[in-house]
Each structure stands twice: as C-alpha cells, then as structure tokens.
C-alpha cells in the first residue's frame, strides 16, 4: 500500500471491497480505466472474511459461508479465480431440512435425484424447477439485472416471473402434498427475508433450488476470505490498486478521479462529507426501508452435529424450522417486531468437507436466525433448542461460542444497518425502487457519484453483479464531459 496514494489521480475509485466493490473495480479496470479500491478495514472482503472467532485453529466465516451464486454468477464465471487460489468444495448434499420424527427432506445437486427424493411430489417439483434449470443461461441475465430493463429472453423470463410472484406459502401448498417437501421449499423461500405470504417470496426459493442443480451450493476451501483474496489477486494482476485501513468519511479525502463508486448503503452516503445531494433524492433514500436483521452464532465443536436424520449429517447447509406453517409463522412474528420461540435457523457445516476449518477430529458450525431490525435479543438459547430438537446431545459437543447481535453485524459492516445483511427489504416495491425508482439505479444525482452495494439491483448475495452493472453505467457515462463532484 503506497503511503502517498492520495497524491495520485485515477479514472475511478471504488469505496468498499465486498463482492460488489470488486465487481465494479474489476470491470472498470478491464475496460482500461485506472482504478483504486479503498477499504476501511485492515483486510479486504466485506462479508467475505474468515477468522478464528472462538478457539485457535477454528476458522469461521464472519458473514457469508455457502455460495450458491459463487459459481452461478456471470461475473464470477468470467474470471480465472482458480488461478488465484480459489477452490470450490461441493458438499455431499447441498441442503437438508429435518422434520420431527428423525427424517429430512433433501435437495440433491442432481435434479433427477431430488425428484426421486420428493417421492409423490417429484413430478411437480420437476415441473416447477426443471424449466428454470434448463433455461438458466437465458434467465440469469434477467434475474441478476436491473428490473426495469427490457428482458433479453422475455418468454423464458415470464415463465419464471409468474411462478416467482406467487407467495411461497401458497406455492408450497399448491405444489406439494408432503409436509417435509413443503417445509424444504419454505426454508428456501425464507432466504428472501420476506413474509412467506408476500408476493415474490417464492422467487428466491426457485432461484436457489435451480442453482443447486446447475452449480451446487459450494463452499470455498479455507473460508470465504479466499474469495476476496482471489478477487484481489486477479484485480491487482490486471493493474488495479488496493488501499486498506482507510475509512472514507469525506469524499474530499480521496484522490482526484472522474468517478467514485460506493459499495455502501445509500443511507450512509447522506452523511458522507463533501456530497450535497438534492433534497428530493435525500427524502427518497431516507424512505428506503431496511429489512429484518440477523443474530449469528459460531460454534467450536468437539465433533459433528449429532443429527438424527442421516441426510443432515452429509449436508453442507441445513435449514431448521420444522414445518411450512412454523417457518411462515416465525417469519411473520419477526415482521411484527417479535422474537419467535422457534426461529427459522440457517446452518452451515463447512468443516465436514473442508479440513482446514478446524483441528483434526473437531468441527465448526455457522448458524443464524432472523430477528427484528435492530434487535438486542440474545437468541442463542432459542437457536440451540432448535438444533437440539433435531440433533439431541448437540450442546454436549459445544466447546466455545461466538455471538453477533444486530449491532455487532452493523459494527462489523456498516452496510448491514440494523443487522440487515440483504441491503434493504426486497419486496415488490423495493425490487423496482432499489434504492430509488430509476432507470439508472446505480447513478446518484451528483455527476460521477454512483452506488453499487446490495441496496441496488439485483440485491443481496455474493455474486458481484451490483458492482458489475454499476460499472457498466459508469462506462456508459464515460464520454460525458465535465465530470466533477457537485
């Protein structure tokens, strides 16, 4: 890191080194622009960081852990990240969802294996997911793109869009008769962080299920930090510069440039020194709604989680929450400002498949549940009761815990306002008004100032596409004369 970087000038500067910050910086550097990537923390990565949070030798992912979009993102697919140390590991089973009685529904990487696992619901599962899997290359440019653009494959996209509009609770009841299969789809849909009775809550479930069959739900060897390190290696190899441990609170502290792209929540920009936004834009951003938060626990374990269901013992990801109705009720309670007694819990068992994560014979466990935005409630006991429900004796294997409340999530990454890891509610309104209603959602009213965080389309996830599209907007504007900060 050059100590005199502020004395240089660049074509474009990107603030924030999450996947979207890298998406913007890499695409602009590839286009021939001189770029600088600035990170506030001593290490790069945003939500892609891995640390020893509990005991020495136990490596935990701070935020993102399993990466369905990691291999399915067009941006990631375009880069030779394997040449820079990124190695994807496919768990034996992408997802298991246990139900009472010691059994579990399964999402296999093979579509046909999942159809078989769904039993009498298999043919309906194929009708629901199969067309999306078959047309993934046609659909992904629309799914991971600004919603107000013209679909590149309107017929294929309409087939997906109509299914995705149906509330998840209704779609699960209509499509499946088996309670375990309904529960599995509910767990997929609950990644949306919406009420399962809301339109669009099915969309993320359909996308995640389809990606499992095209690319699996892989985990990066060594932890999510390895994704950030590979992106940094490639970016620097093509001439990009990175400065860490530099908190930007005033845009005038940055070197001279024609464009600045912020991988920040737009609400943060309203308090950025040197930026005077028009009142209308300020009011629109102030009205932008943040979603539910998360409470997270990382565990160091003396052995693997003792699940009753065999499928859970070989799954990279496990969703806990019981039935469709239980999950729908718990998510509804959160939107009402309450903390469910039986929360929907998302778990990742990386050390079952990646021996770099824990000492020999030991294991890590990554788990979180949804809570009201800004919650101060300790959900550790409720999470562990859900785990014990399906894995009796779990607590006996716990060596150490590390918890993160919503305030801890925000302190770790200021983008996560109130613990919202998704960059804002992504309901019908804020799918189109993300962060404001605009044909160019990455542009702000100030010339040369852009936003590329998950508060822009296509939203949350480790895919880099928000930054990729923001860079496309910068390149589109590049020939305009007189770029300067207003």
pLDDT by residue (tens digit) across 115-172? 999 999 999 999 999 999 999 888 888 888 887 666 666 666 666 767 889 999 999 9
User: Residue 485's pLDDT is what?
Assistant: 34
pLDDT in tens, 75-103: 999 999 999 999 999 999 999 999 999 99
If one counts the domains in the chain, the total is: 1
> What's the rounded Cα separation, in Å, for the pair 226 and 228?
5
User: Residue 239's pLDDT is what?
Assistant: 97
146 domain-assigned: no
34 domain-assigned: yes
User: Residue 201's pLDDT is what?
Assistant: 95
At residue 332 the predicted structure's pLDDT band, cuts being 50, 70 and 90, is very high
Residue whose C-alpha is closest to residue 136's, from 49, 214, 252: 214
95 domain-assigned: no
18 domain-assigned: yes
Say whether pLDDT at 206 is over 70: yes
Provide the token pair at 228: 């950030």
Provide the token pair at 106: 């399964």
User: Residue 145's pLDDT is what?
Assistant: 84
Whole-number mean pLDDT of the chain? Answer: 94
Helices (H), 55-178: 68-72, 74-77, 111-117, 122-134, 136-143, 154-165, 168-175
Q: What is the mean pLDDT of residues 232-248?
A: 97
What CATH number should be reported for the domain holding residue 445?
3.50.50.60
314 domain-assigned: no
Say whether pLDDT at 483 is over 50: no
Say whether pLDDT at 486 is over 60: no
375 domain-assigned: no
| N residues, the chain | 486
**CB burial of residue 101 (10 Å; 0-12, 13-18, 19+):** exposed
Say whether pLDDT at 273 is over 50: yes
- Measured in Å, how far apart are the chain's first and last C-alpha atoms? 29
pTM of the shown model: 0.95
User: Are the C-beta atoms of 348 and 312 separated by less than 8 Å?
Assistant: no
Q: What is the mean pLDDT of residues 215-222?
A: 97
Q: How far is CA 106 from CA 181, 292, 309, 348, 438, in A?
A: 8, 27, 11, 15, 40
77 domain-assigned: yes
16 domain-assigned: yes
Domain around 241: 5-58+66-86+220-290+424-477
Find where tokens 């009402």 sit.
336
User: Are the C-beta atoms of 211 and 218 separated by less than 8 Å?
Assistant: no
User: Residue 162's pLDDT is what?
Assistant: 79
pLDDT in tens, 398-411: 999 999 999 999 99
User: Are the C-beta atoms of 129 and 213 separated by less than 8 Å?
Assistant: yes
User: Residue 192's pLDDT is what?
Assistant: 96
At residue 389 the predicted structure's pLDDT band, cuts being 50, 70 and 90, is very high
**CB burial of residue 130 (10 Å; 0-12, 13-18, 19+):** middle
Say whether pLDDT at 482 is over 80: no
| Helix, strand, coil content of the chain in percent (nearest 5) | 40, 15, 40
Helices (H), 261-376: 266-269, 279-287, 324-335
């Amino acid at each position: 890191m050059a100590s005199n970087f502020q004395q240089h000038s660049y074509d474009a500067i990107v603030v924030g080194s999450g996947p979207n910050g890298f998406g913007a910086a890499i695409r602009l550097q590839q286009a021939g622009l001189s770029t600088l990537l600035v990170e506030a923390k001593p290490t790069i990565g945003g939500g892609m960081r891995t640390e020893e949070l509990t005991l020495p030798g136990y490596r935990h992912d701070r935020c993102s852990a399993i990466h369905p979009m990691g291999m399915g993102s067009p941006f990631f697919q375009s880069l030779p990240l394997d040449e820079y140390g990124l190695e994807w590991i496919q768990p034996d089973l992408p997802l298991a969802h246990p139900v009472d009685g010691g059994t579990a529904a399964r999402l296999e990487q093979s579509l046909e294996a999942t159809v078989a696992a769904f039993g009498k619901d298999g043919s309906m599962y194929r009708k629901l997911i199969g067309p999306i899997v078959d047309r993934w290359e046609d659909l992904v440019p629309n799914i991971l793109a600004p919603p107000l653009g013209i679909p590149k494959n309107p017929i294929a996209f309409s087939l997906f869009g109509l299914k995705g509009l149906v509330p998840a609770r209704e779609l699960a009841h209509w499509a499946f008769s088996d309670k375990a299969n309904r529960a599995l789809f509910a767990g997929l849909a609950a990644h949306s962080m919406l009420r399962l009775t809301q339109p669009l809550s099915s969309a993320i479930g359909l996308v995640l299920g389809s990606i499992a069959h095209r690319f699996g739900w892989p985990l990066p060897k060594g932890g999510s930090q390895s994704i950030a390190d590979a992106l940094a290696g490639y970016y620097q190899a093509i001439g990009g510069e990175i400065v860490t441990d530099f908190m930007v609170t005033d845009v005038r502290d940055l070197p001279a440039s024609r464009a600045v792209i912020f991988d920040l929540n737009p609400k943060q920009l309203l308090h950025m020194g040197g930026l005077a936004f028009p009142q209308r834009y300020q009011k629109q951003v102030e009205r932008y709604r943040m979603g539910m938060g998360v409470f997270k626990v990382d565990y160091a374990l003396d052995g693997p989680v003792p699940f009753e269901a065999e499928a859970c013992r070989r799954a990279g990801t496990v969703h806990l929450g019981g039935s469709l109705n239980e999950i729908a009720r718990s998510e509804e309670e959160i939107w009402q400002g309450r903390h469910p007694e039986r929360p929907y819990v998302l778990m990742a068992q990386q050390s079952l498949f990646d021996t770099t994560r824990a000492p020999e014979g030991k294991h890590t466990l990554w788990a979180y549940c949804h809570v009201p935005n800004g919650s101060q409630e300790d959900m550790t006991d409720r999470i562990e009761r859900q785990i014990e429900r399906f894995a009796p004796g779990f607590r006996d294997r716990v060596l150490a815990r590390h918890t993160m409340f919503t305030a801890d999530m925000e302190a770790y990454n200021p983008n996560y306002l109130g613990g919202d890891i998704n960059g804002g509610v992504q309901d019908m309104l804020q799918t189109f008004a993300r962060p404001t209603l605009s044909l160019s959602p990455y542009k702000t009213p100030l010339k040369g100032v852009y936003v590329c965080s998950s508060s822009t389309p296509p939203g949350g996830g480790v895919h880099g596409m928000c930054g990729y599209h923001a860079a496309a907007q910068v390149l589109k504007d590049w020939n305009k004369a007189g770029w300067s900060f207003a």
